[in-house]
A and B are shown apart, each in its own frame.
Chain A
Amino acid sequence: MNKLSPLVRFRSIWNPDEPNMKWMITLLLLFGVLSVVLAVGIGPVAVAPVTVAKIVLSKAPMLRDAIPITWTQLDENIVWTLRLPRVLLGMIVGASLAVTGVAMQALVRNALADPFILGVSSGAAATATLGMLFGVFAFFGTYALSISAFLGAAATIIAVYAISRVKGSINITQLLLSGVVVAMIMDAITNIITLSAPNALGLHNAAFWMSGSLAGAKWGYLTLPLIVMIGCMMVLMTRYRALNALLLGDETAGTLGYHVSRLQKLLVLVASLLAGVTIAVSGSIGFVGLMVPHMARLLVGSDHKRVLLVSAPLGGILVVWTDVVARIVIAPQELPLGLLTALIGGPFFIWLLKRKPRI
């Protein structure tokens, strides 16, 4: 039997032309779990990773009695009530934003698309604040905020897409400029609302919507984003061939047997759902949707089947660790998470812009 040396096998995981997807996914998931455990332990009060793991495992019904309690109630409160929901929310938000980026990039056929850059985050934040102020969607109960953010995201994607479409194809200059302008308008609306009605909006102030944060995460925040993320991921995965074909152009995708306009509507819906639901819980965290799909393509090539599978865990890990930095860099104060992602993502965007001649 022909056995490959460990080094060659290790190297083959990173070959973008023929990546070893089983290894890649296994490694990413392992690293994801490890990130959660480590990230939960880090903070003003440090908790050892082993203790974190024990506390989490002790919550599982069949293990409750098997694990001796060697930690204080304070540690348990910090881990279970404060940090774990926050870190898990970071995972879900990161994965959702990364997948949103993939969907939007396929829609506009350009690697520079991202919910933040194209103003979608701002649109979602604006309608979310509007919804809170006037209670328009109050009858949806707990999900009112998410639904109003979704509507704003959808309206913005459609507007930006319509503005930047010139003679049947997306004009990249129009796309970026219309994204900037729409984002400015929407941010202005958000600012006006939050400044004029501070009490009504409670925890969610202007800074939250503009620069994103995972602070104040609760277990209850996780359900809807998780369901939406898994659902959208499945919808996209079943259509990975169509997404690939779409990159060749609308006309070509049509001649390959795809219903292009239906596909585009689906992508708008998926991207708005993901962006809206995510932004409702975390505010706008920029550039994750830009950076992560690109990193995924460097690792495994452009095939959407692989890009989607790799982007989701990669986005989660990125946001979890960025949030760790946000928590500790000026402790006991906290930096808004979105500021940090912008600090990394901005230069990344410029590099992408300058790297290759635009097509």
Chain B
Amino acid sequence: MKLQVENLNYSYDASPLVADIRLHVKQGEFVGLIGPNGSGKSTVLKNVYRALKPDSGWLAMDGEDLQAMKPKALALQMGVVGQENTVPFDFMVEDIVGMGRSPHKRLLEGDRPEDRRIVAAALAQTGMAEMARRNYRNLSGGEKQRVLLARALAQQTELLIMDEPTNHLDIYYQLQMFDLIQTLGVTVLAAIHDLNLAALYCSRLYVLKAGRLHRAGTPEEVLTPELIREVYGITAEVAVHPATGKLSIAYVPAGMAQREAALVR
């Protein structure tokens, strides 16, 4: 078991944000965390990457108590693409990506050719090689997101935690990023907004609703019209797409439903 979360509880100002979360990620799995806004996806992830301290619960990484690990030891095993993406000073893209090498560095150790090679590779993988010497502050939201992913890749960890890693990307880069992450063979836990992307790439999904685990399972088990209605309050049609063999979800807003019969099929 790569990552294990048992009975996680976290509250802010005495109101529970997430309660009783149980979540497992096995080696090599791509696990998605889905749910509407405010359902606690980010809160769960922040507890996992220790930006928040759980009220109670057991979190483990390869069986080791995650909360007791030294920051550096954790950073060597877990890379994070979070929501924080502003940098208030001028840094070049390759400097930002180079910071991903930090946990590998000893006190006073300089950058080695090896580090520069890893950084260049991460930039190439995310399609940012040509932007390496650009000022990070002048990039678009999508470009920043690719830089942050490159930084996490340069960290060379076996586990990647991602909080909506592609929400600023156009569809080309969304697919490219997820394809890339899949080919890396790393273990992933990601909060994902887009149900179609979740269906395409995730091996398993956890569904959160109002801070609680609503359902867990493969995309086929989880992404049913009934569940989508329960959790998101919308009508959707779900079908296996012939080209991908994966689920494809079409949303049907109430005002546009022309074939009432088709929905209750």
User: Interface on A for B, CB 8 Å cutoff?
Assistant: 16-17, 109-111, 238, 241-242, 244-245, 247-252, 254-259, 297, 301-303, 359
B90 and chain A: residue at smallest CB distance: A302
Closest Cβ of chain A to B214, distance in Å, is 26
B78 and chain A: residue at smallest CB distance: A255
- Contact partner of B84 (CB less than 8 A), chosen from A110, A238, A252, is A252
* Distance between Cα atoms of A252 and B147 in the complex (Å): 13
The 8 closest A-B pairs by CB, nearest first: A257-B75, A257-B103, A257-B72, A255-B80, A249-B84, A302-B89, A251-B51, A256-B102
Chain A interface: which of B93-101, B119-127, B236-244? Answer: B93-101
- Contact partner of A248 (CB less than 8 A), chosen from B51, B72, B78, B99, is B99
A259 x B108 contact (CB < 8 A): no
Closest Cβ of chain B to A337, distance in Å, is 28
* Distance between Cα atoms of A252 and B107 in the complex (Å): 19
A248 x B76 contact (CB < 8 A): no
Q: How many residues of B contact A (CB 8 A)?
A: 33
* Distance between Cα atoms of A359 and B87 in the complex (Å): 8
List residues of chain A with CB within 8 A of the CB of B50.
254-255
A252 x B82 contact (CB < 8 A): yes
A256 x B75 contact (CB < 8 A): yes
A247 x B133 contact (CB < 8 A): no
- Beyond the given pairs A251-B51, A258-B72, 14 more chain A to chain B contacts, judged by CB atoms under 8 angstroms and listed by A's residue number, are A16-B90, A111-B88, A241-B102, A244-B91, A244-B95, A247-B87, A251-B84, A254-B49, A255-B75, A255-B78, A255-B80, A256-B102, A257-B75, A302-B91
Majority SS at the chain A contact face: loop
* Distance between Cα atoms of A16 and B135 in the complex (Å): 11
Closest Cβ of chain A to B103, distance in Å, is 4
Interchain residue pairs with CB less than 8 A apart (11): A111-B88, A238-B108, A241-B105, A244-B91, A244-B95, A244-B99, A245-B102, A252-B80, A255-B75, A255-B80, A256-B75
List residues of chain A with CB within 8 A of the CB of B80.
251-252, 255
* Distance between Cα atoms of A216 and B130 in the complex (Å): 57
* Distance between Cα atoms of A255 and B78 in the complex (Å): 8
Q: Answer yes or no: B210 CB below 8 A from chain A CBs.
A: no
Q: Answer yes or no: B38 CB below 8 A from chain A CBs.
A: no
List residues of chain B with CB within 8 A of the CB of A301.
90-92, 95
Closest Cβ of chain B to A248, distance in Å, is 6
List residues of chain A with CB within 8 A of the CB of B49.
251, 254-255
B133 x A359 contact (CB < 8 A): no
* Distance between Cα atoms of A259 and B74 in the complex (Å): 11
